[in-house]
Amino acid sequence: MKIGFVGLGAMGGPIAGHLLAAGHTLCVHTRSEASAASTIARGAVWAATPRELASQSDLVFTVLPGPPDVDAVMHGETGLLAGFRRGAGYIDMTTNAPDLVRRLAAELKDAGVAMLDAPVSGGPKGAASKKLAIWVSGEESAFETYKPILQQVGDQVRYLGASGNATIAKLVHNCANYGIQMVLAEVFSLGVKAGVDPLTLFGAVRQGSLGRQNVVDRLADHFLPGDFDTPAFKLELAQKDVMLATALGRDIGVPMRFSSLTIAEMTEARNRGWGQRDSRATMLLQEERAGVDIKVPRKDLQDLLKAEPR
């Protein structure tokens, strides 16, 4: 297939390389031709503008830093939109903004181009090894058409439905990832300053309930089913533990910002009379604030976990 590729950075470069290795004809464009030199040396052809690239391609990929970059590459006299042929496809792998994705999907549909937003997770190492999760949304017929090509660059390709859904999933994933990262930094700094060797502490925490279970899979225990009245560990006991940790932090001079916020949430939940419910009942407070009702049948959760073991 004749494929156009815009963006050859830490993620885009390896992905473009896999497409070349799979036998596709590749036309590339980046901010400077020099940054595309290694890909061109492997057989890709340079396009001076995004418009020129689109005019030569059956399918175009973009892997760019963010929404402004995608918007700029798409529009204007030399943009992709000015060059697309009717019947072509467009796959954006950028971590993008849902409103821009949906706007572009509508514009491209009017131009006879099928758009898929397909953000990836796995980092540069995953891009190089093809160990990438690729979340895809847009018209299902377009997904089925281009799924075999996506499987040439990633090992887990999942369809999420309407345009923008995949982008939302990527934002949820990344925000959770970096939030958890900060909490772990907080509590490990507490443990080390309190006197525990970092490697010893790491080994111990890995053996606990947090370390033994995938942190996302824990959502299936109580939060997603909306079942907080069969407690695995009561909220009042969980709050006691967090309060002891923050007291230790005060004693040895370790700021405990995230843990203190957790205590505030737990206190509000206990003031609702939820002390005997499962400790995850605090998560209901955020559901209320967001104005959503999250409930998934346990059987559906169990079926998914069995079908996709870690």
Q: How confident is the model at residue 308 (pLDDT cuts 50, 70, 90)?
A: confident
123 vs 143: CA distance, rounded Å = 23
d(CA 252, CA 2): 62
Q: Which residues contact 6 (CB under 8 A, 6 or more apart)?
A: 12, 28, 29, 30, 50, 53, 60, 61, 62, 63, 64, 73, 80
Q: How many CB atoms sit inside 10 A of residue 262's CB?
A: 19
Res 310: pLDDT: 64
Name the packing angle between helices 165-193 and 98-110 (round to 10°). 160
List the catalytic residue out of 170, 193, 240, 299: 170
Tell me the average pLDDT across 27-44: 94
Over residues 89-147, the pLDDT tens digits come to 999 999 999 999 999 999 999 999 999 999 999 999 999 999 999 999 999 999 999 99
Q: With beta carbons less than 8 A apart as the criterion, state whether 111 and 81 touch.
A: yes
Are residues 44 and 36 in contact, defined by beta-carbon separation less than 8 angstroms? Answer: yes
Contact indicator for 301, 225 with CB cutoff of 8 Å: yes
Give Cα separations from 220 to 56, 162, 179, 252 (angstroms).
47, 24, 19, 36
In this predicted structure, what is the pLDDT of residue 213? 85
- Catalogue all structural domains in the chain, each as residue range(s) with its CATH number: 2-168 (3.40.50.720), 213-307 (1.10.1040.10)
170 included as an active-site residue: yes
pLDDT in tens, 73-97: 999 999 999 999 999 999 999 999 9
Output the six-digit token pair for 53. 């690239």
